[in-house]
Amino acid sequence: MEPKRRGRPPQVDAEEVARTAVRMFVDRGFDDVTMDDVAREMGVNRRTLFRYFPSKNELVWGGSAEALERVHRGLRDVTPERDPFRAAQDAYVRSLVFPEEALEVTRQRLVLIASSEALSAFGVAHREKIRQAIATFLVDRGGFEGNSLEVTMRSAALVDGGHAAMLWWARFGEGPPAALVEKALGLQGEVRAL
Amino acid sequence: MEPKRRGRPPQVDAEEVARTAVRMFVDRGFDDVTMDDVAREMGVNRRTLFRYFPSKNELVWGGSAEALERVHRGLRDVTPERDPFRAAQDAYVRSLVFPEEALEVTRQRLVLIASSEALSAFGVAHREKIRQAIATFLVDRGGFEGNSLEVTMRSAALVDGGHAAMLWWARFGEGPPAALVEKALGLQGEVRAL
**Rounded distance, CA B24 to CA B128, Å?**
28
At position A180, the amino acid (one-letter code) is L
Q: Which of B125, B154, B161 is opposite residue A157, by nearest beta carbon?
A: B161
Residues of B in contact with A164 (CB under 8 A): 152-153, 156-157, 160
Do residue B192 and residue A194 have CB atoms under 8 angstroms apart?
no
Q: What residue type is A175 in one-letter code?
A: G
ipTM above threshold 0.95: no
B7: left (phi over 0), alpha (psi -120 to 50) or beta: left
Q: Over its length of 194 residues, how does chain A's per-residue pLDDT go in tens digits?
A: 444 555 555 578 888 999 999 999 999 999 999 999 999 999 999 999 999 999 999 999 888 888 999 999 999 999 999 999 999 999 999 999 999 989 999 999 999 998 888 888 888 889 999 999 999 999 999 888 888 999 999 999 999 999 999 999 999 999 999 999 999 998 885 543 33
Mutate to test the interface with A, among B166, B169, B191, B194 (most CBs of A within 10 A): B191
| Residue range B89-99: mean pLDDT, rounded | 94
Nearest CB partner across the interface for A160, out of B152, B156, B172: B156
Class of domain B63-193: mainly alpha
- Helix extents (H) in chain B: 14-28, 35-42, 46-52, 56-61, 64-76, 84-94, 103-115, 117-142, 149-172, 178-192
How many CA atoms lie less than 13 Å away from A57 in the CB half-sphere?
15
What integer pLDDT is reported at residue B193 of this predicted model?
36
Of A172, A183, A193, Cβ closest to residue B193: A193
- The pLDDT assigned to A189 comes to 59
Query: How many interface pairs between A and B have CB atoms less than 8 angstroms apart?
Result: 138
Of B120, B153, B165, the CB nearest to A124: B120
> What tens digit of pLDDT does each residue of B100-143 get?
989 999 999 999 998 888 888 888 889 999 999 999 999 999 88
Interchain proximity B154–A187, CB inside 8 Å: yes
pTM of the model: 0.87
CB < 8 Å to A123, chain B: 124
A158 neighbourhood in chain B, CB within 8 Å: 191
CATH topology of domain B14-57: Arc Repressor Mutant, subunit A (1.10.10)
Q: How far is A171 from chain B, CA to nearest CA, in Å?
A: 10
**What share of chain B has pLDDT > 70, as a percent?**
92
Where exactly are the structural domains of chain A?
14-57, 63-193
